[in-house]
Amino acid sequence: MIRILLRALVFLLSAALGLWVASLILPDLTLTASGFVTAVLVFAVAQSVLSPFLAKVVARGAPAFLGGIGLLSTFVALWLASLFPGGLTIEGWQTWILAALVVWLITALATLLLPLVFLREAKQKRSGTPRPTP
């Protein structure tokens, strides 16, 4: 049960980080403070549902495209999150493409690295060793 909750937390944090970084880098991507939570939740839920579904569909018809599933599901999840007013706004086709790339890259990296941070902190708490200061 705790694993499922930690996975969900990592997924939400990675989505939040991806959307936030994209809003900092891309001038035509606007993410309002008031709509941030809604955009993150919609994006994370859409991404978690779309990725396995699209992977299954593509694996049957065109397995060579499996590598692009992450980008495609990120693009569709961004589109769904942008449908909710007051949160995420993306203008211009170039920004849509760049947003999908940036959010996909950041969420992929965060999904890999955040569990390592959580595991290291949990291990340090169990062993009683103090956390190193940067």
Return the higher-pLDDT residue of 27 and 9.
Answer: 27
Q: pLDDT tens-digit profile of 78-119?
A: 999 999 988 899 999 999 999 999 999 999 999 889 888 877
Mean per-residue pLDDT, 13-31:
95
Domain assignments of the chain as residue spans, ordered by start? 11-121
Instruction: Indicate the angle between helix axes 69-82 and 36-61, nearest 10 degrees.
Output: 140
Counting residues of the chain whose pLDDT is more than 70, the rounded percentage is 90
What pTM was computed for the model? 0.80
Name the residue type at position 22: A
Decide if pLDDT at 7 tops 90: no
